C-alpha cells in the first residue's frame, strides 16, 4: 500500500494540469468509479423496487390509486387457504428436491470420480448428464408435458406399462403432477449438481485415499470417511441454492401445466400465487404482501448460510 501511495504522485503531477486528468489517475477515487455501476444497479433495480413492495404491501392498489390499509393484506394472507396451499406446495417441492438432488448426484459424482475407465470415458458421462441443463425451461417443459401424456402412448406411461401398470393421468392428480415436476427437476439439475460435487471431490488430496486404502478401507468406507466430510463447503453451497431454487420454483409448474392454472391448484407455488395476484389479477397490494413474506423467508435462509460459511472459514484459518 505504501508503495502504491508513493507511486501515485509522479504520473498525476506530470500530467495533472487539468483536474479531469487528476481524477483519472487517482487511486483513491478510482474504486468508486469502478463499483458505481453495481451501486446504481443495486439502488435503481433492487433497493427502490423492494422499498416500494414494502410500501405497497400496506396499501390497496387499484387502477393506479393507492390507499393505506395497514396490515390488512397480511391478515388477508394469513386467512387465505390458497396461499397456505401454495406455501405447502413450495415447501414440499423444496424438501423433496433436496432429498433427491443431493444424494443422487453425489453418488453419481463419486462413481464418475472413481478409477473407472479413462478420463475421456468419464467426460462422456459427465457431459451427457449435463446436457439437460442446456435446455431452456420452455423446451424442457414442452418435452416433459408431452412425455407425461395421459394416453398409454406417452413415454412415461409406456415405461410403467412395461411393469404392468395402467396408464396414469399424470397432470390430473396431485401426486402425479408432483412426480412430473420432480422428474423434470431431476432431469435438468442432476448434471449440474454432479459438476459441483466433482469439482469439490477433485480438490480433495489424493493422498487421503491412498492412505485409506493402505489402511484397508474399501470404496464405500472411503466415500463416507473421506469424500463426504471433505465436501463440506460444496454441500452447504448446493443445499443452499437448492433451498432457494425449491422455494422460488415457478416456471417448472408454469410450463408443465401450460399456464399458471392446475387442477385444484395442485401445481401452484408461492411465486405462482404472486404471479397470479400481482400480474394476472393486478391486485398489487396483496401480491406485494406475498412477495414480502417470500423475501423474508429467503433472506433468513441467506443470512443463515452466510453465517454457516463464515464459520467454515474460521475453521480453515485455524
Partner 1 sequence: MSAPMRTTTAVTATQASTQPRRPRPEVRSKHELPRGLFAAVQTGFLVLITLIVLAPLVAIFIATFQDGNQIIRNGLSLDIELGELSLDNYVMLFTDSGLYFRWFLNSVVLTAVQVAGTLLVSSFVAYGFAMYDFKGKNFWFITVLLLMTVPFEIMMLPLFVMVNDFGLADSYSVVVFPFLAASVTIFFFRQYFLGIPKELLEAGRVDGVTEFGIFFKIVLPIARPAIAAMAILNGMIIWNNFLWPLLVLRSAEKFTLPIGLNTLLTPHANNYELLIIGSLFSLLPVLVLFILFQRFFVAGMTAGALKG
Site for partner 1 in 187-246 (CB under 8 A): 187, 190-192, 195-196, 199-200, 202-203, 213, 219, 232-234, 236-238, 240-241, 244-245
Q: Which stretch binds partner 1 (CB under 8 A): 65-73, 75-83, 92-100, 150-158?
A: 150-158
172 binds partner 1 per the rule CB under 8 A: no
Angle between the 103-113 and 174-202 helix axes, to the nearest 10 degrees? Answer: 40
- Indicate the burial class of 81 (C-beta count within 10 angstroms; 0-12, 13-18, 19 or more): exposed
130 binds partner 1 per the rule CB under 8 A: yes
Between 103 and 117, name the residue whose CB sits nearer to partner 1: 117
**Which residues within the stretch 28-57 sit at the binding site for partner 1 (CB under 8 A)?**
28, 30-35, 37-42, 44-46, 48-50, 52-53, 56
User: What does the angle CA 74 – CA 78 – CA 83 come to, to the nearest 5 degrees?
Assistant: 100
The single residue among 13, 128, 221, 264 that binds partner 1, judged by CB under 8 A, is 128
Cell digits of residue 121:
470415458
Pairing of strands 59-62, 65-68: antiparallel
Q: How far is the CB of 79 from partner 1 (least distance, A)?
A: 21
Cell digits of residue 7:
507511486
Q: DSSP per residue over 243-296, as a string?
A: HHHHHT--HHHHHHTTSS--GGGTT--HHHHHHIIIIIS--HHHHHHHHHHHHH
Within 10 Å of residue 218's Cβ, how many Cβ atoms? 9
Between 15 and 264, name the residue whose CB sits nearer to partner 1: 15
Q: By CB under 8 A, how many residues form the interface with partner 1?
A: 124
Q: How far is the CB of 94 from partner 1 (least distance, A)?
A: 12
Nearest to 99 by CA among 185, 23, 202: 185
Q: How far is the CB of 149 from partner 1 (least distance, A)?
A: 2
**Which residues within the stretch 250-309 sit at the binding site for partner 1 (CB under 8 A)?**
250-251, 255, 258, 271, 274-275, 278-279, 284, 287-288, 291, 294-295, 298-299, 302, 305-306, 309
Between 171 and 178, name the residue whose CB sits nearer to partner 1: 171
Q: How far is the CB of 266 from partner 1 (least distance, A)?
A: 17
Owner of C-alpha cell 414494502: 54
Q: How far is the CB of 175 from partner 1 (least distance, A)?
A: 19
The single residue among 69, 91, 204, 248 that binds partner 1, judged by CB under 8 A, is 248
Q: How far is the CB of 73 from partner 1 (least distance, A)?
A: 13
Q: Which stretch binds partner 1 (CB under 8 A): 78-86, 92-100, 104-112, 174-182?
A: 104-112
317 binds partner 1 per the rule CB under 8 A: no
109 binds partner 1 per the rule CB under 8 A: no
Alpha helices by DSSP H, listed for the chain, are 2-15, 19-25, 30-41, 48-56, 72-79, 81-101, 103-113, 119-130, 137-147, 155-162, 174-202, 206-214, 219-222, 228-230, 232-247, 251-256, 270-275, 284-317
Assign residue 310 a region (left: φ > 0; alpha: ψ between -120 and 50; beta: otherwise).
alpha
Q: How far is the CB of 226 from partner 1 (least distance, A)?
A: 16
Amino acid at each position: 500500500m505504501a508503495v502504491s501511495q508513493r507511486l501515485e504522485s509522479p504520473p498525476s503531477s506530470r500530467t495533472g494540469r487539468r483536474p479531469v486528468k487528476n481524477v483519472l489517475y487517482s487511486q483513491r477515487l478510482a474504486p468508486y468509479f469502478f463499483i458505481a455501476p453495481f451501486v446504481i444497479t443495486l439502488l435503481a433495480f433492487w433497493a427502490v423496487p423492494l422499498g416500494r413492495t414494502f410500501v405497497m404491501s400496506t396499501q390497496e392498489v387499484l387502477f393506479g390509486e393507492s390507499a393505506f390499509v395497514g396490515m390488512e393484506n397480511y391478515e388477508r394472507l394469513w386467512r387465505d387457504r390458497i396461499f397456505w396451499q401454495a406455501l405447502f406446495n413450495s415447501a414440499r417441492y423444496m424438501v423433496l428436491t433436496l432429498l433427491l438432488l443431493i444424494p443422487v448426484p453425489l453418488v453419481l459424482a463419486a462413481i464418475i470420480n472413481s478409477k473407472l475407465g479413462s478420463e475421456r470415458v468419464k467426460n462422456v458421462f459427465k457431459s451427457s448428464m449435463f446436457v439437460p441443463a442446456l435446455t431452456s425451461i420452455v423446451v424442457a417443459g414442452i418435452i416433459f408435458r408431452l412425455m407425461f401424456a395421459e394416453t398409454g402412448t406417452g413415454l412415461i406411461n409406456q415405461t410403467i406399462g412395461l411393469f404392468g401398470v395402467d396408464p396414469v393421468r399424470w397432470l390430473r392428480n396431485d401426486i402425479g403432477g408432483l412426480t412430473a415436476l420432480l422428474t423434470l427437476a431431476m432431469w435438468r439439475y442432476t448434471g449440474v449438481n454432479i459438476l459441483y460435487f466433482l469439482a469439490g471431490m477433485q480438490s480433495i488430496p489424493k493422498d487421503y485415499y491412498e492412505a485409506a486404502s493402505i489402511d484397508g478401507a474399501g470404496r464405500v468406507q472411503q466415500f463416507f470417511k473421506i469424500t463426504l466430510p471433505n465436501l463440506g463447503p460444496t454441500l452447504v453451497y448446493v443445499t443452499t441454492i437448492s433451498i432457494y431454487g425449491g422455494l422460488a420454483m415457478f416456471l417448472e409448474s408454469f410450463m408443465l401445466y401450460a399456464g399458471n392454472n392446475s387442477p385444484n391448484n395442485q401445481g401452484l407455488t408461492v411465486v405462482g400465487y404472486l404471479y397470479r395476484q400481482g400480474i394476472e389479477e393486478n391486485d398489487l397490494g396483496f401480491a406485494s404482501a406475498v412477495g414480502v413474506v417470500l423475501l423474508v423467508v429467503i433472506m433468513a435462509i441467506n443470512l443463515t448460510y452466510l453465517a454457516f460459511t463464515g464459520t467454515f472459514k474460521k475453521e480453515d484459518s485455524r
